[in-house]
Structure 1
Amino acid sequence: MDRFDRIFKLHNLFINRRTPISMKALKQELQCSRATVARALEEMQDYLGAPVEYNKKHNGYRYNRTSGERPYELPGLWFSADELHGLLICQHLLTRIGPGILQEQIRLLQNRIETLLALHPEAAKPKLANVKFLTVGGRRLSDSRHFLNAAAALFGGKRLSIEYRARSSNKHSRRDVSPQNLLYYRENFYLDAWCHLREELRIFAVDRIESAEILPEDAIVLPESELHTYFASAYGIFSGAARHTAVLVFSAERARWIADEHWHPEQQTKRLDDGRFELRVPFNDHRELLMDILKYGADVEVREPEFLVAAVVEQVEKMRAMYLK
């Protein structure tokens, strides 16, 4: 623990209690000698203006709470070395999950964190190149301003006028929407919104938004319960209330992975007597679920519903025919 960590720890001890703390207790909390604790207390008083006082009656140290109208706080933005390391890793993650998004803001944040970390001469600087985030299937945004405008409209409670090209049909449309949520799902960002053109809830892939303008009109904000029913009750990115339940049985070998995986908030699981693992997940549109099933090959058997079984068989037969040409 370096001297800044010790000061930070002392501050938290004093700010969270009113009774004096003995030197013995401070030595135990900081895991250092009496001389080191005394030096840290002097630095807090002399350089940081902390109202540290020694209470002779109780033979301990505390903050003098009568010296000001508000509780004392350390000047500036204070973090321990471990917290700064954690912030740097979070910043590093941001640059990976959304390349180009908030690039300038993230750069300034990193500079600020590194400046604060330099105040901890005993702390090693993290080797961020050794912290890796592997992403598969992420799509790069053509213009990060569309994401920023969507976020600003969401946080400001305003409507958004967008030009959108649907990936499924490649058709272009212009519409006004009331943003409800920003969703990061499977390496990409989506905007949950009330569409004033269709007069219903819709999901828009942010990378398919070609322009986004914040409007002066207030957005329609729907109840959280209604949003959950529409966006979160069914499996995956496809919206709408769940109308079906898939019953999947995984092999005993694959069960070691699936048993620890979270597919849906309302999933039901059961380990079978022969070691296999049963997973039940609610869904509406089966297309995304079908892709996830197929990637497990012969390690999963679809039991229900019948139309999902038929969809798997159809895809397997198409693959078989393709390779037997």
Structure 2
Amino acid sequence: MDRYERILALHRTLQAARYPVTVARLQDELGCSRATVYRDLAFLRDALMAPVVGDGEAGFRYDPDGGGRFELPGLWLNSEELHALLAAQQLLSRSGGGVLSSALAPLQQRIEKLLDEHSTGRNWPMQRVRVIPHRGRRMDEHSFRIVCSAVLERRQLSFDYRARSTDESTRRTVSPQRITHYRDNWYLDAWDEDKQGLRSFSVDRIAAARLLDSPARDVDDAELDRQLAGGYGIFSGEPKGWATIVFGAKAARWVADERWHSQQQGRFLPDGRYELKIPYSNARELLMDVLHYGADAEIVEPKALREQMRGMLQLAVANYD
């Protein structure tokens, strides 16, 4: 490792040590000579003002009475952390359909500057980190910013909302609770002041958003989870029931590693198939996900959900007659 990484590794070793660390151990952990260990210790103590105490006989550590926990000045990252930051930077710049591009441009520039400072003249192969958004929707950046401000500033919000299910436009006044990113799209969980209940709004369907002076009503987190996160997906309403889905042996290898719901229950059957049980509140969303697996998935229970799937498949087949 280079000197930068050695200093970072040395700092972390001394920071975690409850007792003095011998020079031999430091040599082994840093992969360097005894003289290099002493040079790095001197740099850490004299240039970075670290509270290094000890000697070559007993070992070195940070002074426990040095006036608090010492941290390296600035931002220090090792190679693995730097590579992870690089990948995160690509995710930041390429996801979200550009809705965050202008708002986060200053932050992205700082990340790029940090990468340059630590690259030691190396050109990073950015094209080897790919981010491919899936079915993200177009969204107005101005509305998104106002929604976020309302959530964080705890102020009521007024906006026009056009529901996808009915295509009806209404004016809403809400107390924002939280903003949720779900399947490459953003949703606002809020208390609807007119309907006096919790609702989830797709942010891409919000227009003419305006912050109000009135403070937002706070709903307990447990109640939010009970009504908005208790069933499958993020749609409002408590779970209507539990669905049992059996996947064929081929699909089982994928489904067994997937997280459909925080309370899901799954097990492999003796014949290699996989049984998944999940609570759900919005039947259509669950049916669409099961359809994704085609003939490799079968809804076993409840009977009403099974019949809904049968009806959807019959209508789909009719399109090809």
TM-score of the pair, normalised by structure 2: 0.91
- Contact 1:85/1:126 (8 A) holds in 2: no
- Among residues 257, 261, 265, which one is paired with 1:264 in the alignment? 261
- Contact 2:96/2:133 (8 A) holds in 1: no
Q: CA deviation at 1:92?
A: 1.5
Q: CA deviation at 1:55?
A: 3.1
Separation in structure 1 between the aligned mates of residue 117 and residue 262 of structure 2, nearest angstrom: 44
Separation in structure 2 between the aligned mates of residue 274 and residue 259 of structure 1, nearest angstrom: 15
Q: CA deviation at 1:48?
A: 2.4
CA distance 1:279–1:51, change in 2 (3 Å):
closer
Residue of structure 1 in register with 2:223 after alignment: 226
Q: CA deviation at 1:188?
A: 0.4
Please provide the CA RMSD for this pair: 2.3
CA distance 1:287–1:71, change in 2 (3 Å):
closer
Residue of structure 2 in register with 1:315 after alignment: 312
Which 10-residue stretch deviates more, 240-249 or 9-18?
A: 9-18
Separation in structure 2 between the aligned mates of residue 275 and residue 23 of structure 1, nearest angstrom: 55
> Counterparts of 1:108-187 in structure 2 under 5 Å?
108-122=106-120, 124-142=122-140, 144-187=141-184
Encode CA deviations 1:107-166: one digit per residue, 9 max, x unaligned: 333332333333435585542221112222101212x12222222222222222222221
Residue of structure 2 in register with 1:49 after alignment: 49
- Contact 1:88/1:110 (8 A) holds in 2: no
- Tell me whether 1:281 sits opposite 2:278 in the alignment: yes
Letter in 2 for 1:174: R
Letter in 1 for 2:31: Q
Residue of structure 1 in register with 2:62 after alignment: 63
Residue of structure 2 in register with 1:305 after alignment: 302
- Contact 2:95/2:132 (8 A) holds in 1: no
Unaligned stretches of 5+ residues in structure 1: none
Separation in structure 2 between the aligned mates of residue 215 and residue 280 of structure 1, nearest angstrom: 43
Separation in structure 1 between the aligned mates of residue 286 and residue 15 of structure 2, nearest angstrom: 52
Residue of structure 1 in register with 2:92 after alignment: 94
- Tell me whether 1:213 sits opposite 2:205 in the alignment: no
- Tell me whether 1:103 sits opposite 2:101 in the alignment: yes
- Contact 1:191/1:206 (8 A) holds in 2: yes
Sequence identity, in percent? 43
Letter in 1 for 2:222: S
- Tell me whether 1:77 sits opposite 2:75 in the alignment: yes
Letter in 2 for 1:25: R
CA distance 1:40–1:104, change in 2 (3 Å):
farther
Encode CA deviations 1:271-295: one digit per residue, 9 max, x unaligned: 2222222222222221111111222
Letter in 2 for 1:117: L
Separation in structure 1 between the aligned mates of residue 198 and residue 209 of structure 2, nearest angstrom: 18
- Contact 1:91/1:106 (8 A) holds in 2: no
Residue of structure 2 in register with 1:239 after alignment: 236
TM-score of the pair, normalised by structure 1: 0.89
Which 10-residue stretch deviates more, 184-193 or 84-93?
A: 84-93
- Contact 2:90/2:131 (8 A) holds in 1: no
CA distance 1:146–1:23, change in 2 (3 Å):
same
- Contact 1:249/1:302 (8 A) holds in 2: yes
Q: CA deviation at 1:3?
A: 1.2
Separation in structure 2 between the aligned mates of residue 130 and residue 263 of structure 1, nearest angstrom: 29
CA distance 1:268–1:53, change in 2 (3 Å):
closer
Unaligned stretches of 5+ residues in structure 2: none
Residue of structure 2 in register with 1:38 after alignment: 38
Letter in 1 for 2:295: A
Letter in 2 for 1:319: A
- Tell me whether 1:5 sits opposite 2:2 in the alignment: no
